[in-house]
Amino acid sequence: MKKHDSFIKGKMRSNESISRHTTFRIGGIADKWAEPLDMEDLQNIIKLGKKLKKPIYTIGGGSNLLVSDKKINGIFIRLSSPFFRYIRMKGASLTVGAGASLRSLLDFCIENGLTGLEFCSGIPGTVGGSVAMNAGLGPKRPESNIGNFVNQVTVSDKNGRIKTIKKKDLKFGYRTSSLGGFIVLEAEFCLKRARKDYIKKQCIEILEKKNKSQDCRKSSAGCVFKNPYGGFVSAGKLLDLAGMKKQRIGDAEISEKNANYIINLGNAKFNDVKKLIDIMRGKVKEEFNIDLELEVKICK
């Protein structure tokens, strides 16, 4: 395939292990791994995918993702070059590249006295993925979801065409938006001014709270299931009541801190996690007659 991708300016590798790019540390070998240098490069990679009839997958921080151990037919794209990681400020508005990490965005907000996104503390993803899935605290705290602060999003479609989608057409909901099928390129945020020390204090307090209730420092994909009933009932609580904490298959174990987390203890396989997911879902159905919906995305 080398002759097909010689015109790519950024990084392009064959037979890339995806496990090293996910927070779960699980994943097989992908046909191609691409890190485009700029927009022209990204469009050329999309064209290459169409020419070779290979699906395109975008990956940011690698959280919220469970990837098959098998050979994966497709091209994985990460927008890691500086071209996609900018943060530009105009008043209390920010225009942020999709490849920027939420950590770097929060650091920028603290440094420049912009409040609103403190709830993103501890989320390991990038801006692009976080906007697409409307990361945050769910419908119980609608003011603490990233879509609440997004004014517009610029995307590429599957043919490499660029367009801007306004807030009214983004259809943000609980862990969802209308951005499925697009590659997010940048997002514009509308924030408010506040004192730097106040914003920093909020971030620290939120991070400390998360560390107490979640296994943030261990290999996991984050929450396995969405909270049912539109986000108003805790999936973690249901799983805890169903006795699922510390249940284990191979090196995949349900967290003792939060029963909605599966931890990779070192050498967990895709099927270990998938079997555990099926058991968790079945147990909650049996005990409470509630169907849990996956939050983690499965790629196989």
Q: Which pLDDT tens digit goes with each residue over 110-128?
A: 999 999 999 999 998 999 9
* pLDDT bucket at 1, cuts 50 / 70 / 90: very low
pLDDT of 2 over the 70 cut: no
Q: Can 223 be counted among the known catalytic residues?
A: yes
Average pLDDT for residues 75-100, to the nearest whole number? 98
pLDDT of 13 over the 60 cut: yes
With the CA atoms of 53, 54, 56 and 62 taken in that order, what torsion angle do they form, in degrees rounded to the nearest 10?
Answer: 180
**What's the whole-model pTM score?**
0.93
Q: Can 208 be counted among the known catalytic residues?
A: no
So what's the pLDDT on residue 7?
82
* pLDDT bucket at 3, cuts 50 / 70 / 90: low
Q: How do residues 208-229 score in pLDDT, each as one tens digit?
A: 998 888 888 899 999 999 999 8
The boundaries of every CATH 3.30.43.10 domain in the chain are: 2-77
So what's the pLDDT on residue 214?
86
* pLDDT bucket at 152, cuts 50 / 70 / 90: very high
Q: Can 109 be counted among the known catalytic residues?
A: no
The boundaries of every CATH 3.90.78.10 domain in the chain are: 215-299
CA gap 110, 154 in Å, rounded: 25
Q: Which CATH class is domain 215-299?
A: alpha beta
The boundaries of every CATH 3.30.465.10 domain in the chain are: 85-211
* pLDDT bucket at 60, cuts 50 / 70 / 90: very high
Question: Of the listed 78, 203, 295, 299, which one is catalytic?
Answer: 295
Q: How do residues 155-184 score in pLDDT, each as one tens digit?
A: 999 999 999 999 999 999 999 999 999 999
Question: Of the listed 109, 120, 223, 299, which one is catalytic?
Answer: 223
CATH 3.30.43.10 fits 2-77, yes or no: yes
- Average pLDDT along the chain: 95
Question: Of the listed 16, 175, 188, 203, which one is catalytic?
Answer: 175
- What is 85-211's CATH number, 3.40.50.12780, 3.30.365.10, 3.30.465.10, 3.40.50.20? 3.30.465.10
* pLDDT bucket at 230, cuts 50 / 70 / 90: confident
Residue 119: phi, psi to the nearest 5? -65, -15
